[in-house]
Amino acid sequence: MVQDVHLQVLPGEHVAVIGGNGSGKTSLLRAIMGLHKEWAGQILLDGKKVSTKPSAAHPGVAWMPQRQPRGQFPFTVRELLSAGGHEQAALNAARGLDIHDLLHRPLAALSGGQLQRSYLARALGMLSAGAGLLLADEPTAALDFSGQEQVAQLIVALPATMIVVTHDLALAKKCQRVLQMAQGRIREMTL
């Protein structure tokens, strides 16, 4: 459960949120997205209040979930990339993430790292389509060491506002601010 969180993220700022399992990190991101079932308080994105009723997603946010839903339909990588709103930008990101040759494969047939890269490519396409905020939940999970470094470098180079939940301290150190969550509360820290 997230409690008493007061957080302001400035345009273009990269913020890492770290903490133990179950500390509220993902719940915080889901609340910002308007996806959390129950929450109280106020969340503003670009000065507009986020609805307290769960919705599919906030249009100004590029979302990279921690647990990617594979669905029961044979959804392909290309269909996932197209769903982000800017297919060509997502396809370009797929090339840079070394997954371009997987476009016709169903998501259910991908490894964890390939799936992670696919959702990141979609999020990058969403940023190109006008999303102003990237929420990334464990973007380097399921990747090998070289993949973790590649994705970390790519993410921190983005000219977008970003909140990234991570257990990857190397990625967290590359962000401008690091926040730690514990028992649903948040505090700023120095790494």
CATH number, domain with residue 149: 3.40.50.300
pLDDT in the model for residue 59? 66
Confidence band, pLDDT 50/70/90 cuts, at residue 126: very high
Contact between 175 and 17 (Cβ < 8 Å)? no
Which residue has 């401008």 as its token pair? 176
Is 116 inside a domain boundary? yes
Q: Quote the percentage of the chain above a pLDDT of 90.
A: 42
Q: Which of 14, 15, 8, 52 is nearest to 33 (CA)?
A: 52
Domain of 36 in residue numbering reads as 14-189
Could you tell me where the DSSP H helices lie in 85-168? Answer: 87-96, 112-128, 145-156
Query: For the chain, what percent of residues have pLDDT higher than 70?
Result: 87
| pLDDT tens digits along 66-112 | 766 655 667 899 999 998 888 999 999 999 999 999 999 998 888 88
Q: Measure Cα distances from 108 to 69, 77, 116, 142 in Å.
A: 9, 10, 12, 15
Residue 58, pLDDT score: 63
Question: pLDDT tens across 156-168, in order?
Answer: 999 999 999 999 9
Q: Report the domain count for the chain.
A: 1
For the residues 52-73, what does the mean pLDDT come to? Answer: 67
- List the Cα angle 135/110/151 in 5-degree steps: 40
pLDDT band at 41; cut points 50, 70, 90: confident
125 in any annotated domain? yes
Residue 7 belongs to a domain: no
Structural domain includes residue 62: yes
Q: Which of 183, 187, 139, 146 is nearest to 163 (CA)?
A: 139
